[in-house]
């Protein structure tokens, strides 16, 4: 498939951002991520307040704000990999009305591994590249020295984000599974093995 429309689902820390980079690079499609878009606009005033207050608490930003971000991004892209959206059934319904997806994947990872991945996650503010203190640090010391931790990757906020995932986003995964549209991938494998499975799922679609 040349310009696929890929939806990557999974809990925070499952590896969606990491694997989206592979999809975007290999298939030449847009990486559409509500998390990055909201982080770049944390203090934007909306009628629901600013994204910051929700994000720092680990709660979902109100649907109208994220729906608008996604609609603008997907309407401009021929193909895309969508990461971080939809996070509840109402967002899934909205997405259904604005685009048709080619592949829907769930990256499955257990809770304790998610906590370990999220609390150890570090991001390069210059390139957006994702690293991990134990599993994946850059070779270049200059890059290692400038890595930052996201404000919401602290243990308490991580646990709240996982609770919000169970309550709101798990039903979205079940919805696609019941519709027979979901491909499940074991996200606890190495990043390379996850990518092999994900690429196969896209090429088979």
Tokens of 9: 């689902």
In the stretch 36-75, what mask flags binding to ligand AMP with x, by CB under 6 A? Answer: --x---------------xx--xxxx----x---------
Nearest distance from residue 83's CB to ligand ADP, in Å?
6
Q: Among ligand AMP, ligand ADP, none, what does residue 136 contact (CB within 5–8 Å per kind)? A: ligand ADP
Distance CA 12, CA 164 (A): 10
List alpha helices for the chain, DSSP H. 16-27, 34-39, 51-57, 63-76, 89-98, 111-119, 141-146, 155-164, 170-178, 191-204
Spatial contact of 59 and 163, defined as CB atoms under 8 Å apart = no
In the stretch 131-170, what mask flags binding to ligand ADP with x, by CB under 6 A? Answer: xx--xx----------------------------------
159 part of the active site: no
In the stretch 128-157, what mask flags binding to ligand AMP with x, by CB under 6 A? Answer: ------------------------x-----
150 part of the active site: yes
- Applying CB under 6 A, among 1, 89, 115, 130 the residue interacting with ligand ADP is 130
Residues of the chain by 3-state class (helix, strand, coil), percent to 5 = 50, 15, 35
- Applying CB under 6 A, among 18, 20, 34, 106 the residue interacting with ligand AMP is 34
Q: Contacts with ligand AMP in 69-128 (CB under 6 A)?
A: 84-85, 87, 91
Size of the site for ligand ADP (CB under 6 A): 19
Going from the C-alpha of 138 to that of each of 22, 135, 145, 204, the distances in angstroms are 17, 10, 10, 33
16 part of the active site: yes
Q: What are phi and psi of 42, to 5 degrees?
A: -60, -35
3-state secondary structure of 123: strand
Residue of 52, 116, 150, 184 with catalytic role: 150
Quote the distance between the C-alpha of residue 30 and its chain's center: 13
* Residue 9 engages ligand ADP in binding (rule: CB under 6 A): no
Q: Among ligand ADP, ligand AMP, none, what does residue 87 contact (CB within 5–8 Å per kind)? A: ligand AMP
Number of residues in the chain: 205
- Point out the residues that are catalytic: 16, 87, 121, 150, 161
């Amino acid at each position: 498939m040349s310009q696929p429309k890929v939806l990557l689902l999974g809990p925070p820390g499952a590896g969606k951002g990491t694997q989206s980079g592979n999809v975007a690079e290999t298939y030449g499609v847009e990486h559409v991520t509500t998390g990055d878009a909201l982080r770049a606009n944390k203090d934007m005033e909306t009628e629901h307040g600013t994204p910051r207050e929700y994000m720092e608490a680990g709660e979902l930003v109100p649907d109208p704000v994220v729906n608008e971000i996604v609609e603008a991004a997907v309407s401009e892209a021929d193909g895309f990999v969508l990461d971080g959206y939809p996070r509840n059934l109402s967002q899934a319904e909205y997405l259904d009305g604005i685009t048709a997806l080619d592949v829907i994947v769930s990256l499955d990872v257990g809770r304790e591994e998610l906590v370990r991945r999220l609390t150890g996650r570090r991001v390069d503010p210059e390139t957006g590249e994702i690293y991990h203190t134990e599993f994946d640090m850059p070779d270049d010391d200059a890059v290692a020295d400038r890595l930052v931790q996201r404000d919401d990757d602290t243990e308490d906020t991580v646990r709240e984000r996982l609770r919000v995932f169970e309550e709101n986003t798990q039903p979205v995964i079940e919805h696609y599974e019941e519709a027979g549209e979901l491909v499940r991938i074991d996200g606890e494998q190495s990043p390379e093995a996850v990518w092999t499975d994900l690429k196969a799922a896209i090429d088979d679609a």
